[in-house]
Amino acid sequence: MSAKRVKIGLIGLGTVGSGVYRTLKAFEHIEIAKIAVRDKNKPRNIPDLDQSILTENPLEVVNNPEIEIVIELIGGIEPAFGLIQTAVENGKHIVTANKELLAKHGEELFNIAEKHNRVILYEAAIAGGIPIIMPIKTILTGNNITKIEAILNGTTNYILTKMDLQGLSYEEALKEAQELGYAEADPASDVEGFDAAYKITTLATLAFKERVKLDKVYREGITKINAQDMKIANELGYKIKLTASAYFDENNNADVRVHPMLIPKQNTLAHIDYVTNAVSLTGHPIGEITLSGPGAGAFPTASSVTGDVLAIAAEIGTTDYLLPQMRCRHRKTANVINILDTENRYYLLIEAANVKGVTGKIGAICAENNISLKSFIQKDISENNTAAIVIITEKAVERDMLNAISEFKKDESIINVNNLIRVQLY
């Protein structure tokens, strides 16, 4: 006896949607009944695409009584939110890759889903083809996860890798990423850290079992990183990566942020290059594990979407309450501490006049602000008789570090504070 064919509705047939369509066609018990697109007449490189199932009206997907699972792949807030809500209210389960929607409206959507006894799965929304959501919800559920350090944006990782390995400027590396299709014409979502912030918000919520609010997540992009920073970091034994991190301390405070970080070369994340993503989790009893792989692309993302679809399809008709482990169980909002109150180590590049006493001033200002220096290096003197001074601090409070920088900028012998980059603590 053949298995029941589960009918699927697909909203979006772009790069990821096309990969999902091609992948799901291989499963005989899955039938793609309707696909919503912007333009039915747009040429598509999809063999054997049945044009009759295309529609420019997504309501034909979410209101179709035969469809049991809706896949949302259009991104953004609206119309995605409204379409998912309508689909759930019409009794459909949801698979989505929409990281922004989950970060901003996840709580509301999961409450709607629970009210109507439906599930929302989103493996593809965090790290593309890397399986991370279902492992946290299932095989790792017995762990007390206290730390996440991850590279969650392939575009920025590609840019930083090219700057590191080939000495390109930020502008040159960005242009190349755009030419290869890794970066959008407007790259702000990636290079300013928004994309990674959406992802770490949801990932931290899952791992810590307390809801993290996006507006509490500190975010800083890579636009200030330059080739000189890359060169110096390498000389000091580090790589610069845009990291998304979350820490949960013994007092139940969460520290969730996205920013560039100097990572020691012996650390696994330092060697995650180009468009590859990686997630490192630390907890008890597992210790530390790292999962890495393609964070985007048609088929890696389709892998995660397809896994979610098949997980739902396998339970349809077998139970009245599907996939209980995968449902949202968060009843508490995490206390996310302000970045100003966090402790970090810092890399600072200072341009100063080559005059007596300037190094003493820098040291004195640091001491006055409770900052101890781990290393202090004066680079070559330039033609205009200025020196590049690199300092690496011991652990210090962010607020104190920013106060020290304000004092540096008031001193006439200190010409410029070029960059401040946090250094991985452990």
Q: Tell whether 223 and 150 lie within a shared domain.
A: yes
**Would you say residue 1 lies in a domain?**
no
**Would you say residue 139 lies in a domain?**
yes
Q: Tell whether 139 and 207 lie within a shared domain.
A: yes
Q: Tell whether 11 and 115 lie within a shared domain.
A: yes
Q: Tell whether 158 and 282 lie within a shared domain.
A: yes
pLDDT at 1: 36
User: What CATH number corresponds to the domain at position 358?
Assistant: 3.30.70.260
Q: Tell whether 119 and 185 lie within a shared domain.
A: no
Contact 279, 130 (CB under 8 A): yes
Q: Tell whether 158 and 252 lie within a shared domain.
A: yes
pLDDT at 4: 79
Q: Is 319 helix (H, G, I), strand (E, B) or coil?
A: coil
State both tokens at 179.
């030419």
Q: Tell whether 11 and 106 lie within a shared domain.
A: yes
Q: Tell whether 230 and 252 lie within a shared domain.
A: yes
DSSP string, 213-228: PGGGSEE--STT--HH
| Over residues 199-220, mean pLDDT | 97
Q: In the chain, how many domains are there?
A: 3
**Would you say residue 269 lies in a domain?**
yes
Q: Binning pLDDT at 50, 70 and 90, where does residue 59 land? A: very high
Residue 363 vs residues 209, 344, 421: alpha-carbon distances, Å: 43, 18, 18
User: What CATH number corresponds to the domain at position 175?
Assistant: 3.30.360.10
pLDDT at 163: 96
Q: Which pLDDT tens digit goes with each residue over 349-399? A: 999 988 888 889 999 999 999 999 999 998 777 767 888 899 999 999 999
In the predicted structure, residue 3 carries a pLDDT above the cut 70: no
Q: Tell whether 231 and 217 lie within a shared domain.
A: yes
Q: Tell whether 321 and 345 lie within a shared domain.
A: no
pLDDT at 236: 94
- Mean of all residue pLDDT scores within the chain: 94
**Would you say residue 334 lies in a domain?**
no
* Residue-range definition of the domain harbouring residue 389: 339-423
**Would you say residue 331 lies in a domain?**
no
In the predicted structure, residue 406 carries a pLDDT above the cut 70: yes
Q: Would you call 25 a catalytic residue per the annotation?
A: no
Give helix 99-115 / helix 80-89 axis angle, nearest 10°.
Answer: 20
User: What CATH number corresponds to the domain at position 24?
Assistant: 3.40.50.720
Q: Tell whether 285 and 405 lie within a shared domain.
A: no
Residue burial 7-34, b: 16+ Cβ < 10 Å; e: rest: bbbbbbbebbbbbbbbbbeebeebebbb
Q: Tell whether 143 and 286 lie within a shared domain.
A: yes
Q: Which of 4-13, 307-316, 406-415 is least confident?
A: 406-415
| Over residues 170-174, mean pLDDT | 96
Q: One of 92, 104, 199, 241 is an active-site residue; which one?
A: 199
pLDDT at 290: 96
**Would you say residue 223 lies in a domain?**
yes
**Would you say residue 388 lies in a domain?**
yes
Name the residue among 340, 342, 338, 344 with its Cα closest to residue 395: 344
The structure's pTM equals 0.95
DSSP H/E element including 124? helix 124-127
**Would you say residue 193 lies in a domain?**
yes
